[in-house]
Structure 1
């Protein structure tokens, strides 16, 4: 609390001003402050010194240099208005230089990324099916996890099926997995399924919901090297989806690349996409799907965020936005 009737020590004055005692000594050396001394030689800051110090600190917080502050405080031809105008001009020049540097760095970064992608070539290249007009879609690289999302009717499921057909030894796992029969599972496969479900149980998913058991069964029953999975979150609550996401990111199913069709913010968290993950967005207007960089301001980032909903919202609209197993 400010107490103008008191004389403060250097430490008390620094605390009152929100600066360090070292800063006060610097202002003293530059002739900006002249605190009195006690009989024992300690610096003392009275009301007049504190008022002057507050003006200095306020100008420093605006980024003004000590030389200009010295002229203002000494009244050497630079009144406060003139000093602020000059300081504003300096900042504008610095901002222009920083903007130019930022643009140069951004251009160089994009050039390096484009060159790298050109050297790699497209990992997936296909002619887009209906509802597109036969345009080509290229995916530069297949990462451990690729999320596919888009609004209702955007064609994202057809794109997922087309990707599964374009990649050698890839398989599309649709929602028909939910109607599978556990009784026909052979013993070795059942042992692998049970091992996964025990892992989920250890993370708090016990007993496993039928949709999770069906998903694990469908994945383990498939010997494809790349899996494209329709609506990975179907039938799972919020906590189970989050645990499943962590489980998949640990590459728990043999390290096979996964393409995950999703509209759940618990499966695809835009703020937590790793370098081993990528996002494909299908626009509502059936423009060519794009690979979206996981950073705010990137093309398509905000559109992806608007496609995702929490499990609670998805449950309320399940009959509208979830594809039924018997729908092709």
Structure 2
């Protein structure tokens, strides 16, 4: 049994706490725990350090993130009740999301994926707008994530808007993310609470949410549509934030709603890591009919998709540029 006056080595402390020595080093690196040092420089843990470590381990066992634990400890225990309430809300949201995913998987297994045009055998079937020549575009199935990409001036934004119009109860979120979002937050505190929960999730991943990310999250939560089509999802986000956003979107963190993401960033669309729950739509530069591209080398359109994607640094150099602007009213 542990005696309160003992000073333990890192291995002994880890064993008593039921964690690994690596976990203790992580807590130390993140500033949560500061062990004492022996004359030889070895880490040792006295009664005070062990008490603090037990608090950390207890909160981690509740699933609380390291960043959130740091906030609780920095406040000296004050606000613990509020932190636990926020954490409970986050867990409830995750549970709801996982329930929706399970239901979607069950529906997919029964062949019940949503079909807007069953007579035509496609989830989406529409007549392409200008600059196409009125050809039809068919999307076989609406998956949780669909990427829309293509070179500059290829018409992908027009296609995205047309898709949003063709799908019942779908909405297009343009680059003016906050249009109407502030009013929605003010009139519905639950929306604001969800936004705050999302942003805390990013903070827990070590991401300090920039204004562009906050605006995107608020725009999504302000919209009640069942399907969202989002223009240039990477707008204003750096490489690390884009990668965190991609992970977050793939986790179906916004109520399990299908998302169509316009992108030209390789941090958002990684052709080597596209799951069966994701689709790619490619708009050719010559305004040929858009195609659904299989995420495998050698597939039709795969190389074209790869060549029109770029890192955030390259994208920043071409931001706002277009290849051609039509002279029409």
Checking the alignment, whether the CA contact within 8 Å between 1:178 and 1:211 is kept in structure 2 is: no
Partner of 1:280 in structure 2?
A: 281
Task: Give the whole-Å Cα distance in 2 for the aligned partners of 1:262 and 1:188.
Answer: 30
Partner of 1:176 in structure 2?
A: 176
Partner of 1:292 in structure 2?
A: 293
Checking the alignment, whether the CA contact within 8 Å between 2:184 and 2:222 is kept in structure 1 is: no
Checking the alignment, whether the CA contact within 8 Å between 2:173 and 2:231 is kept in structure 1 is: yes
Unaligned runs of 5+ in 2: 1-117, 324-328
Partner of 2:321 in structure 1?
A: 320
Task: Give the whole-Å Cα distance in 1 for the aligned partners of 2:182 and 2:310.
Answer: 31
Partner of 1:152 in structure 2?
A: 152
The equivalences for 1:154-303 within 5 A come to 154-177=154-177, 182=182, 185-186=185-186, 187-206=189-208, 208-303=209-304
TM-superposed CA distance for 1:197, in Å, is 0.3
Task: Give the whole-Å Cα distance in 2 for the aligned partners of 1:202 and 1:321.
Answer: 37
TM-superposed CA distance for 1:321, in Å, is 5.1
Q: Relative to 1, partners in 2 of residues 1:210 and 1:180: Cα closer, same or farther, differing over 3 Å?
A: farther
Does the residue aligned with 2:272 lie in a helix, a strand or coil? helix
Q: Relative to 1, partners in 2 of residues 1:126 and 1:120: Cα closer, same or farther, differing over 3 Å?
A: closer
Task: Give the whole-Å Cα distance in 1 for the aligned partners of 2:180 and 2:202.
Answer: 20
TM-superposed CA distance for 1:182, in Å, is 4.3
Task: Give the whole-Å Cα distance in 2 for the aligned partners of 1:184 and 1:141.
Answer: 31
Tell me the TM-score normalised to structure 1 length: 0.60
Does the residue aligned with 2:261 lie in a helix, a strand or coil? strand
| Cα offsets for 1:151-197 (capped at 9, x unmatched) | 01100000000000000000000001156764762222111100000
Checking the alignment, whether the CA contact within 8 Å between 2:125 and 2:166 is kept in structure 1 is: yes
Q: Which has the higher helix share?
A: 1
Does the residue aligned with 1:168 lie in a helix, a strand or coil? coil
Task: Give the whole-Å Cα distance in 1 for the aligned partners of 2:119 and 2:304.
Answer: 29
Tell me the TM-score normalised to structure 2 length: 0.60
| Cα offsets for 1:209-255 (capped at 9, x unmatched) | 00000000000000100000000000000000000000000000000
The equivalences for 1:50-61 within 5 A come to none
Partner of 1:60 in structure 2?
A: none
Does the residue aligned with 1:146 lie in a helix, a strand or coil? strand
Checking the alignment, whether the CA contact within 8 Å between 2:233 and 2:261 is kept in structure 1 is: yes
Does the residue aligned with 1:313 lie in a helix, a strand or coil? helix
Does the residue aligned with 2:125 lie in a helix, a strand or coil? strand
Partner of 2:63 in structure 1?
A: none
TM-superposed CA distance for 1:320, in Å, is 1.2
CA RMSD of aligned residues (A): 2.1
Does the residue aligned with 2:236 lie in a helix, a strand or coil? coil
TM-superposed CA distance for 1:301, in Å, is 0.2
Task: Give the whole-Å Cα distance in 1 for the aligned partners of 2:154 and 2:217.
Answer: 28
